[in-house]
Amino acid sequence: MYKFRPILKTLVWGTESWVLSGVPGNESVVAEGPEAGKKITDLYPGQFPLLIKFIDAKRDLSIQVHPDDALAAKRHGCKGKTEMWYVIDAASGARLISGLKERITPDDYVRLVEQDRITEVLAEHAVAPGDVFFLPAGRIHAIGGGCFLAEVQQTSDITYRIYDYKRPGLDGKPRQLHTQEAKDAIDYQVCPEYRTLYEPRKDEPVELARCPYFTTTLYDLTPKADGVFQTGGPESPSFVILIGLAGSCTLRTDRDGTVLRAGEAVLVPAADGSLAVLPDGEGVKFLSVRP
């Protein structure tokens, strides 16, 4: 099992902690154990497919969109970005944007951006701890101030900024907008529901998202729950990432053990086989992510 040193980023709207990253130039480094100091690229052949973040938004993020794989490959020679959010905490009145609330055309979009009216057609959502939003590439979105959340996404750092409230960046200059680039990346479909609806349950898995890039499952375990999980199988072996949301637990495999705490991520290789999860204290809540 591997824990990594968090990569902390200070931005105009708040902070990000990249707890597991294979993004070129931002590769995670093993924090402890016999392989401490090694990069994720030393442990995983090829590009690591997922990026895990904790995002603490003190102010509204820019309104943005990400390209899909085809457009990102054509323009940037890399993968696109599909992602999901799990809201860990939210201030009173906190909101976020996901999707369109009315149908517009690409030309409508450009006109609305130029007129500073793009927010009029966006779907805004009040949020609370435990809320989940799945964001396929092409969906307009923005995290609002007062949101603290975990983000699971493809390994990509391509973002098209649509609107930034005319505020200066950390250098005092307006941040670049990508109006035309975003025009071709946006999915203009209007959905009846953008929030992921699910029934929370104790001591059993609750699947939150399944797509070609990742499957994310929520576990909310009481101290009496001793969970045993398979990190891989003979037909589809894969690693698993555990993302601590609340409480803590002891993780054990045949090879080694560690403690998972809120705000951390642990990578468990497929070769480790079975994984025992032993909740500590009042229990533990975490996300399990598989590619």
Between CA 144 and CA 23 the distance in angstroms is: 25
Lowest average pLDDT, out of 126-140, 159-173, 189-203, goes to 159-173
**pLDDT at 236 > cutoff 70:** no
Instruction: Specify the residue for token string 């968090």.
Output: 6
Q: Cα separation of 124 and 272, whole Å?
A: 43
pLDDT at position 235: 46
Q: For residue 269, list its beta bridge partners.
A: none
Radius of gyration of the chain (CA): 19
Residue 232 confidence (pLDDT) above 80 = no
Comparing 106-110, 186-190, 227-231, which segment has the lowest mean pLDDT?
227-231
Residue 233 pLDDT: 46
Per-residue pLDDT, 231: 59
Distance CA 219, CA 206 (A): 7
Is the pLDDT at 234 greater than 60? The verdict is no
Q: How many percent of the chain have pLDDT more than 90?
A: 83
Average pLDDT over residues 240-255: 93
CA–CA separation, 240 vs 49, rounded Å?
12
Domains of the chain are: 2-185 (2.60.120.10), 206-290 (2.60.120.10)
